[in-house]
C-alpha cells in the first residue's frame, strides 16, 4: 500500500477516542484529544517522510500518556566514583523530611508577625562560618548579587589569571559586565603581584576580587598574592576584598588527600566577603552562599535582586537540614562527605563482599575516585573498582542506563567499571541485580 493511501486511511480523532476511552478513562478527556491529535500529526509526518515506524496511532497515544505519568527526574545509582557528578545533581542529598501543607517559612511563631526566610539557614551558617551569611539560588547568582551591590558603575580589580569560566559557558567577565561592574584586569595570565593590585586602584575602584580556580590548576612559573596581603591592601585603601571560593569547603579534607581551601580560613585571612556553592563540597542542595562582614551582608540582603534570587521553601529546607548536620558534625548524614571519608580499604571490603554475587567475569582492580563538580581538579581518592568484561561493553552500559533504577557506570579500556564509593549501601542489592542482568 502506498503511503498516500495510508495517509487517507488514518482514523478521525473521534474514532481513536472511542477505541481508547474505556482503557484510558483515568485521563482527562481534553488531554486524550490533544494526545490523539499529536499522534496523528506524528504519523502523518512519518508517512510523508517515507519513514513509517510501524506504530499505530493508538500505540503512540498510549506511549505518550505512559511517559506523562512517569516522573522525569528519577533516582539513579551512581557507580562512576565521581562524588559531585554534575549531570547527576552534584552533591547527593541525605534524607530531607518534606513538610506537607503550610510551614513557618516567613512567619515568626514567637511574635506572630512576618518573619524572614533567612532565619532558617542564617543562624546555622553563622555558627558554621563565624560570620553572617545569606543564601541565593546558586553561586553564579551570589557573584552577580555581590558585584551588582558593591561595584555597579565602578571598577573591580581582578587578576587576569582568575577570569575563569565556571561551567556551562558562564564566565566571570560576562557576569561582571551584566552586573554593571567594570573589569580592571591586572597582572599576567600566570603571575600577578600585590603591586599590580596597588597600582590599579583609583577613584573608581569599588572592589578587589579574588577568584579561586576551583575547576583547574595552573602550574609552573606562577604567582599570586597571599589573601592576607590582599586583605591588608584593601584595609589600607578602604576597599572591600571579595573572594569567590566556588566549591565551598567547610570541613578540612586534607587528612583524606584533598587540599581545598576552607571558607573559614578565607574569612580569618581578612576577606570581607566570600561566596561559594551549596551543592559542591558543602554537600547540600543547589545554592549560593555569601558570608562576611555584617554591614556588607546586610547591604546584599537589602538589594532588590536578593528577592529575585532567593531560595524557595524546598531548597531552604534541604539547606537547613544539611547545615544542621554539618554544625553537629553528623558526617554520615552528609552523603558527599561520607563518600569522601570512606577509605580504600572500606571500599575494597564492600566490593569483595559483592563480587561472588555478580559474575565470573567480574574482578577487582585498584583505581581512583574523583570529587568532580568543578572542584579539586587533578586530585583523586584511591579506591577499588569492580571491573566487568563484556562482549559488547557499549550495549551493556546502555542496558544499565535503561534499567530500573538506572545504573551509571564508567567505561575504560573496553571494560565496565563500578566504584562503590558513590553507591549507597542500601543500593547494593539493586546494583547486583543490574550487573547480573547485563552479564548473562
Task: Specify the pLDDT at position 386.
Answer: 97
Query: What is the predicted pLDDT for the residue at 131?
Result: 97
Check residue 213 and give its pLDDT. 76
pLDDT tens over the chain, length 440 residues: 456 777 888 899 999 999 998 889 999 999 999 999 999 999 998 888 887 778 889 999 999 999 999 999 999 999 999 999 999 999 999 999 889 999 999 999 999 999 999 999 999 999 999 999 999 999 999 999 999 999 999 999 999 887 777 666 667 788 888 899 999 998 887 888 899 999 999 999 999 999 987 656 666 667 888 999 999 999 999 999 999 998 889 999 999 888 889 999 999 999 999 999 999 999 999 999 999 999 999 999 999 999 999 999 999 999 999 999 999 999 999 999 999 999 999 999 999 999 999 877 899 999 999 998 766 666 899 999 999 988 899 999 999 999 999 999 999 988 999 999 999 999 999 999 999 998 87
The strand ranges marked E within 390-437 are 407-408, 410-412, 415-419
118-310: CATH, from 3.40.50.1820, 3.40.50.2000, 1.25.40.10, 3.40.640.10: 3.40.640.10
User: Which 3 state secondary structure label does DSSP give 407?
Assistant: strand
DSSP run (H or E) holding 44: helix 29-48
The reported pLDDT for the residue numbered 79 is 97
Q: Quick one: pLDDT at residue 374?
A: 65
What is the CB neighbour count within 10 angstroms for residue 372?
A: 21
Question: What was the pLDDT predicted at 393?
Answer: 93
The pLDDT, as a whole number, for residue 398 is 96
Buried (b) or exposed (e) across 416-431, using 16+ Cβ within 10 A? bbbbbbbbbeebbebb
Q: How far is CA 25 from the centre of its chain?
A: 40
In three-state secondary structure terms, 347 is helix
Instruction: State the pLDDT at residue 285.
Output: 97
Rounded to a whole number of angstroms, the CA Rg of the chain reads 27
Closest-CA residue to 120 (of 341, 330, 322): 322
What grid cell was written down for 25? 478513562
Contact 248, 280 (CB under 8 A): yes
Return the C-alpha cell found at 380: 583523586
Burial group, residue 432, by CB count within 10 angstroms (0-12, 13-18, 19+): middle
Q: Please choose, from the candidates 269, 318, 309, the residue with its C-alpha nearest in 3D space to the C-alpha of residue 290.
A: 309
Secondary structure E strands in 197-271: 205-211, 241-246
What are the helix and strand counts (H, E) for the chain?
Answer: 17, 15
Q: Which CATH number fits domain 77-89+337-438: 3.90.70.10, 3.90.1150.110, 3.30.428.10, 3.40.30.10?
A: 3.90.1150.110
What pLDDT does 246 receive?
A: 84
Cα–Cα distance, 146 to 10 (Å, whole number): 60
- Backbone φ and ψ for 206, nearest 5 degrees, come out as -115, -20
Give the pLDDT score at 214. 61
For the chain, residues classed under CATH 3.90.1150.110 are: 77-89+337-438
- Within the chain, all domains assigned CATH 3.40.640.10 are found at 118-310
Q: What is the pLDDT of residue 321?
A: 97
Residue in the structure block whose three cell numbers are 472511542: 18
* pLDDT for 303: 97
Amino acid at each position: 500500500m502506498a503511503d498516500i493511501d495510508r495517509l487517507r486511511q488514518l482514523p478521525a480523532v473521534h474514532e481513536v477516542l472511542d477505541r481508547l476511552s474505556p482503557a484510558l478513562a483515568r485521563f482527562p478527556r481534553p488531554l486524550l484529544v490533544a494526545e490523539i491529535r499529536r499522534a496523528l500529526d506524528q504519523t502523518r509526518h512519518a508517512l510523508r517522510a517515507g519513514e513509517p515506524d510501524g506504530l499505530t496511532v493508538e500505540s503512540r497515544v498510549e506511549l505518550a500518556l505512559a511517559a506523562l505519568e512517569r516522573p522525569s527526574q528519577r533516582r539513579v545509582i551512581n557507580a562512576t566514583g565521581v562524588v559531585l557528578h554534575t549531570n547527576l545533581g552534584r552533591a547527593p542529598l541525605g534524607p530531607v523530611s518534606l513538610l506537607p501543607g503550610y510551614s513557618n517559612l516567613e512567619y515568626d511563631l514567637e511574635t506572630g508577625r512576618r518573619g524572614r526566610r533567612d532565619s532558617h539557614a542564617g543562624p546555622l551558617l553563622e555558627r558554621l562560618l563565624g560570620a553572617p551569611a545569606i543564601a541565593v539560588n546558586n553561586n553564579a547568582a551570589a557573584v552577580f548579587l555581590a558585584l551588582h551591590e558593591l561595584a555597579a558603575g565602578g571598577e573591580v580589580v581582578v587578576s587576569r589569571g582568575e577570569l575563569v569560566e565556571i561551567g556551562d559557558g558562564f564566565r566571570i567577565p560576562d557576569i561582571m559586565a551584566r552586573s554593571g561592574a567594570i573589569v580592571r584586569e591586572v597582572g599576567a595570565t600566570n603571575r600577578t603581584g600585590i603591586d599590580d593590585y596597588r597600582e590599579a586602584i583609583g577613584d573608581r575602584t569599588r572592589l578587589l576580587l579574588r577568584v579561586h580556580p576551583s575547576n583547574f590548576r595552573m602550574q609552573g612559573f606562577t604567582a599570586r598574592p597571599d589573601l592576607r596581603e590582599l586583605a591588608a591592601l584593601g584595609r589600607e585603601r578602604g576597599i572591600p576584598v571579595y573572594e569567590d571560593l566556588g566549591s565551598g569547603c567547610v570541613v578540612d579534607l586534607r587528612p583524606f588527600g584533598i587540599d581545598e581551601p576552607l571558607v573559614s580560613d578565607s574569612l580569618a585571612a581578612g576577606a570581607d566577603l566570600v561566596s561559594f556553592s551549596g551543592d559542591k563540597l558543602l554537600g547540600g542542595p543547589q545554592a549560593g552562599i555569601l558570608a562576611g562582614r555584617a554591614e556588607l551582608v546586610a547591604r546584599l540582603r537589602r538589594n532588590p535582586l536578593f528577592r529575585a534570587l532567593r531560595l524557595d521553601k524546598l531548597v531552604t529546607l534541604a539547606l537547613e537540614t544539611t547545615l544542621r548536620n554539618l554544625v553537629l558534625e553528623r558526617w554520615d548524614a552528609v552523603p558527599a562527605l561520607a563518600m569522601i571519608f570512606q577509605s580504600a580499604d572500606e571500599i575494597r571490603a564492600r566490593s569483595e563482599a559483592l563480587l561472588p554475587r555478580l559474575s565470573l567475569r567480574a574482578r577487582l582492580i585498584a583505581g581512583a575516585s574523583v570529587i568532580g563538580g568543578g572542584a579539586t581538579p587533578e586530585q583523586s581518592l584511591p579506591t577499588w573498582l569492580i571491573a566487568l568484561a563484556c562482549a559488547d561493553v557499549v550495549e551493556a552500559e546502555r542496558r544499565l542506563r535503561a534499567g530500573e533504577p538506572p545504573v551509571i557506570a564508567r567505561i575504560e579500556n573496553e571494560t565496565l567499571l563500578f566504584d562503590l564509593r558513590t553507591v549507597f549501601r542500601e543500593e547494593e542489592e539493586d546494583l547486583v541485580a543490574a550487573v547480573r542482568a547485563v552479564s548473562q
